[in-house]
Structure 1
């Protein structure tokens, strides 16, 4: 598909989040009965729980990393938190809901917070050594960053799923915060290369009545 007709380019996902890439995998994402396609409009109450993710014909010898971000947080007119991180998971399953296993142990989260602080604030440091020197590598099938449901406070937000294929097994650590994540930096640091697939949907704030019907507690984006 030419870039001029690519929905990721037309929606400026290419540019705001990703560089141009060649799709090489088929990814299906479903929230309940609702299948996500590029530009799908989804109510915020319908995305309260993590979607089912399926990679069709995936290479069983490779691991996959899935990232979900919001480049329009907290509002499309003033996206100060771009890219807000909603989810990082490893190796989505072909079948079954949820796709990922349980969260890290608290100690591992603490280590990763220190790591990402150093990653952001220091320049002359051996980042690869920092990763490999942390004991007890995280299981590659774990949910790295727990799913946080989109709760757009204003405007229509693009929620972007980006799928990477890992060429080698490695440990991936969670950042210590969700706002101002950067998919490009994440990919470069872990040598993931370009994405193999990406999808986005649109989501906006609902009226109080509709939100209450979907879930009991709705919060704004965490800082």
Structure 2
């Protein structure tokens, strides 16, 4: 019998879990389209990803209006990350990746690491006051021209007690082609307690 890795099992489970979505949530003359059924299944646990003006972008397409795609790629700093169900007595790890580098059709550089923070106190995560040990600085979403929509995925893991999380020298050298599943397995992070994603594309298109 083949034994699957916990993270692989998680992603398979996500693919089988239906998530109810509403069509076309509007604000400030923009239409914020929610992800289709397939992509929305990644969104679990009510993890909030909050950017200026946009609010919580979890499970949505970033709209082209008001130059939002340009702002998220060129100007805005890291979003507020809030997980209201966080246990105040535990610590967490945040991972942000692009699995579609350089494109969803040919993702030969997946997972492109955009943000990695360990030792996040549950109370801080619960209140959206993200502090911890930054292992990879936040990289803005910058899909290459003519590469279509990219998924930007956020995953929250419970950090095992007394576990020291670190990147290897090889991992630190480049954010591209990161073996995220091996990293998760190495530090016994298990499956995410919450996950979400948004989709955006190059703002010039």
The equivalent residue for 1:27 is: 47
**1:80 Cα deviation from its structure 2 partner:** 1.5
1:5 corresponds to 2:18:
yes
**1:145 Cα deviation from its structure 2 partner:** 0.7
Q: In structure 2, what is the Cα distance between the partners aligned to 1:71 and 1:186?
A: 15
Which TM-score applies when normalising by structure 1?
0.62
1:45 corresponds to 2:71:
yes
Match of 1:198 among 186, 195, 200: 195
Q: In structure 1, what is the Cα distance between the partners aligned to 2:110 and 2:15?
A: 27
1:148 corresponds to 2:169:
no
Change (3 A) 1:185 1:44: farther
Change (3 A) 1:182 1:46: same
Q: In structure 1, what is the Cα distance between the partners aligned to 2:87 and 2:153?
A: 23
Unmatched 5+ residue regions in structure 1? Answer: 15-21, 101-140, 209-223
Q: In structure 1, what is the Cα distance between the partners aligned to 2:70 and 2:140?
A: 8
Q: In structure 2, what is the Cα distance between the partners aligned to 1:73 and 1:2?
A: 21
Equivalenced residues, count: 159
Match of 1:63 among 91, 103, 109: 91
Q: Deviations over 1:25-73 (max 9, x none)?
A: 5421101242122133252422541010112031111110010000111
Secondary structure, in 3 states, of the residue corresponding to 2:47? strand
Match of 2:178 among 178, 181, 184: 181
Secondary structure, in 3 states, of the residue corresponding to 2:103? coil
Secondary structure, in 3 states, of the residue corresponding to 1:5? coil
The equivalent residue for 2:156 is: 163
Match of 2:115 among 82, 87, 108: 87
Which TM-score applies when normalising by structure 2?
0.67
**1:183 Cα deviation from its structure 2 partner:** 2.6
